[in-house]
Amino acid sequence: MAFHYLARGLIISGEHVLLVRAIGDTMTFLPGGHIEFAEPAKTALKRELMEEASIDGRIGEFVGAAENEWEEHGVLNAEINLIFRVESDLSSKFPVVSNEAHLEFLWVHKQKLDAYNLYPEALRQLIAGECHNKTAFWGSGVQVKCR
């Protein structure tokens, strides 16, 4: 089994959210990546955004967490994503250029997240506004809890 501890950024411009996809894959995810041992989650997110696409955003409030699991090459993978709002001067009118050849960034309308296969799935409901004005979000699989 492999475990992934991740920090992800929720970057919104108008009605669009910034997603990432490995080139050739059908699944998308929020920008960000692995938290290194003893690294604060906000620091990891700031580092990952800069590494992936030279995004210099202000890491804002903690939105919540989302679990996910999948099997790949016979190995069970599990992850916990810590989600933070990110304020930046990015606009959905402009493409975000990846610094990593295997990744591409996409501005996707909030109502079209299913078509872009966003994972963890619970994030689709969070971004679509189902947890608006709530103080905490927890997503596991397709189940969502807002408090």
Contacts of residue 76, Cβ cutoff 8 Å, sequence gap at least 6: 1, 2, 69, 70
Mean pLDDT, the chain, integer: 91
29-43: per-residue pLDDT in tens?
Answer: 999 999 999 999 999
The answer to whether residue 87 is domain-embedded is: no
111 near 129, Cβ under 8 Å? no
The answer to whether residue 33 is domain-embedded is: yes
Instruction: State how far the Cα of 90 lies from the Cα of 109, in Å rounded to an integer.
Output: 15
Domain span holding position 18: 2-80+92-146
Collapsing DSSP states into helix, strand and coil, what is residue 111? helix
- 48, containing H or E segment: helix 41-53
Domain of 60, CATH number, reads 3.90.79.10
Instruction: State how far the Cα of 60 lies from the Cα of 135, in Å rounded to an integer.
Output: 14
pLDDT value at position 110? 94
Confidence of residue 130 (pLDDT cuts 50, 70, 90): low
The answer to whether residue 41 is domain-embedded is: yes
Torsion of CA 121, 127, 128, 131, to 10 degrees: 100
The answer to whether residue 105 is domain-embedded is: yes
Confidence of residue 132 (pLDDT cuts 50, 70, 90): low
The answer to whether residue 86 is domain-embedded is: no
The answer to whether residue 7 is domain-embedded is: yes
Total domain count for the chain?
1
The answer to whether residue 85 is domain-embedded is: no
